[in-house]
């Protein structure tokens, strides 16, 4: 799943390549990824100009005159800018032509969804969870974070992934920020001290800001996910202390952590296997 740093990079590149252009062609190879909350199909976009491209929750939204195309790439969806004559990828789901450039949406797993809706008709888009505070905005203060955390009864990693609270962290960066803050992924929110919460907030800002910078610096094509700089996610050895990285199941998701840098023996840790939750 693309995460915030990936989405920021992709949206920037798509804006550079496509803003202000008119849709000249459309092709659909995998109709199952498309959903229409308006009467018609992708040909409704023909002749319309692309006025804006932005991120909303974990969707990339293409704003045309009167219509929004909101794409949720899910696990494997990717965008690519190609020349219209380039050979089709086997994973091509649909494409929109903009004169001499073609926007392609590729999806190995065909799990992503693209919703064509009337402008701002977000209620027609399942899974568009909004309301979370943007982690890279000035609204994401220590005070705001601490007050969000204070009301939670779940494990800290579950809270970090809640897009209605925080916009947004996925599995990879949830692991990175917990590592940065030295907090075990199964710690309950209510057992974090004020200092823990502040340290976690600062870790989120640091990790996400650095990741946005690193992804931009690499300048890879937009369909390449840059993740090799992560410290614990899918790594073998802790870069800080050399201990073997472990995994733990948190709500059915694998969390990666260093048992030494993120010990379960912290004062706040509650062993959920013994509490029956
Ligand atoms: Zn370590």
Name the residue with higher pLDDT: 267 or 212.
212
Other Cβ atoms closer than 10 A to 120: 11
User: How many Å lie between the centroid of ligand 1 and the Cα of residue 3?
Assistant: 24
* Averaged pLDDT, 229-242: 96
What average pLDDT score do residues 24-42 get? 96
The separation between the first and the last C-alpha atoms of the chain, rounded to the nearest angstrom, is 28
- Ligand 1 centroid to residue 75 C-alpha, Å: 29
Measured in angstroms, how far is the CA atom of residue 182 from the centroid of ligand 1?
9
Find the 266 Cα to ligand 1 centroid distance in Å: 14
**231 CA distance to ligand 1 centroid (A)?**
10
Helix, coil or strand: residue 15: helix
For the chain, give the percent of residues with pLDDT over 70: 95
Q: How many Å lie between the centroid of ligand 1 and the Cα of residue 155?
A: 21
7 CA to centre of ligand 1 in angstroms:
29
pLDDT exceeds cutoff 80 at 91 = yes
Distance 240 CA to ligand 1 centre (A): 5
Ligand 1 centroid to residue 60 C-alpha, Å: 35
Q: What region, left, alpha or beta, does residue 270 occupy, with left being phi > 0 and alpha being psi -120 to 50 degrees?
A: beta
Q: In the prediction, which pLDDT does 252 show?
A: 82
Cβ-count burial 197-219 (b if 16+ within 10 Å, e if not): bbbbbebbbebbeebbeebeeee
Return mean pLDDT, the chain.
93
Residue 264, pLDDT > 80, answer yes
Helices (H), the chain: 4-18, 142-150, 156-160, 171-181, 194-218, 272-275
Q: At what angle do helices 194-218 and 171-181 cross, to 10 degrees?
A: 130
pLDDT at 268 over 50: no
243-263 mean pLDDT: 93
Cα 153 to ligand 1 centroid, rounded to whole Å = 27
C-beta of residue 62 within 8 angstroms of C-beta of residue 42 = no
Burial class (CB in 10 A: 0-12, 13-18, 19+), 89: middle
Kindly give the interhelix angle for 4-18 and 194-218, rounded to the nearest 10 degrees.
40
CB-based contacts of 71, cutoff 8 Å, min separation 6: 59, 60, 61, 62, 77, 79, 105, 112, 113, 114, 115
Distance CA 60, CA 72 (A): 7
- Decide: 1 and 79 in contact? Cβ < 8 Å: no
Alpha-helical (H) ranges within 40-170 are: 142-150, 156-160
| Residue pLDDT, tens place only, 123-179 | 999 888 778 999 999 999 999 999 999 989 999 999 999 999 999 999 999 999 999
Predicted local distance difference test score (pLDDT) of residue 251: 82
- CA contacts within 13 A on the Cβ side of 230: 24
Average the pLDDT over 223-231 and give the result.
94
- What is the 215 CA–ligand 1 centroid distance (Å)? 24
- In the predicted model, what is the mean pLDDT of residues 188-200? 95
- Is the pLDDT at 112 greater than 50? The verdict is yes
Confidence of residue 2 (pLDDT cuts 50, 70, 90): confident
Q: Of all residues in the chain, what percent carry a pLDDT higher than 90?
A: 87
Q: Ligand 1 mean position to 237 CA, how many Å?
A: 8
Question: Distance from the CA of 150 to the center of ligand 1, in angstroms?
Answer: 27
pLDDT digits (tens, 9 = 90+) for 173-185: 999 999 999 999 9
Omega within 30 of 0 (cis) for the link into 168: yes
Residue 266 has pLDDT above 50, yes or no: no
- The pLDDT of residue 265 is 57
CA of residue 215 relative to chain centroid, distance: 14
Ligand 1 center–CA 199 separation, angstroms: 17
What average pLDDT score do residues 54-81 get? 94
Q: What is the mean pLDDT of residues 84-94?
A: 95
């Amino acid at each position: 799943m693309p995460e915030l740093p990936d989405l920021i990079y992709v949206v920037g590149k798509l804006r550079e390549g496509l803003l202000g252009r008119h849709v000249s062609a459309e092709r659909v190879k995998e109709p199952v990824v498309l959903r229409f909350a308006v009467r018609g199909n992708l040909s409704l976009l023909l002749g319309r100009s692309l006025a804006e491209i932005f991120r909303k929750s974990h969707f990339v939204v293409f704003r045309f005159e009167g219509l929004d195309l909101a794409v949720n790439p899910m696990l494997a969806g990717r965008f690519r800018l190609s020349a219209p004559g380039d050979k089709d990828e086997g994973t091509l789901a649909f494409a929109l032509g903009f004169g001499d450039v073609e926007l392609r949406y590729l999806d190995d797993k065909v799990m992503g969804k693209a919703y064509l809706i009337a402008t701002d008709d977000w209620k027609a888009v399942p899974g568009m969870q909004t309301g979370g505070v943007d982690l890279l905005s000035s609204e994401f203060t220590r005070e705001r974070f601490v007050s969000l955390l204070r009301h939670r009864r779940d494990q800290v990693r579950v809270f970090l992934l809640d897009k209605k609270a925080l916009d947004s962290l996925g599995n990879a960066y949830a692991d990175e920020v917990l590592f940065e803050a030295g907090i075990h992924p199964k710690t309950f929110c209510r057992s974090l001290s004020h200092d823990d919460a502040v340290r976690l907030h600062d870790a989120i800002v640091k990790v996400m800001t650095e990741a946005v910078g690193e992804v931009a610096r690499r300048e890879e094509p937009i369909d390449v996910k840059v993740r090799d700089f992560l410290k614990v996610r899918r790594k073998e050895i802790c870069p800080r202390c050399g201990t073997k990285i472990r995994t733990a199941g948190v709500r059915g998701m694998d969390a990666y952590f260093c048992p030494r840098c993120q010990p379960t023996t912290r004062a706040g840790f509650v062993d959920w296997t013994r509490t029956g939750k």
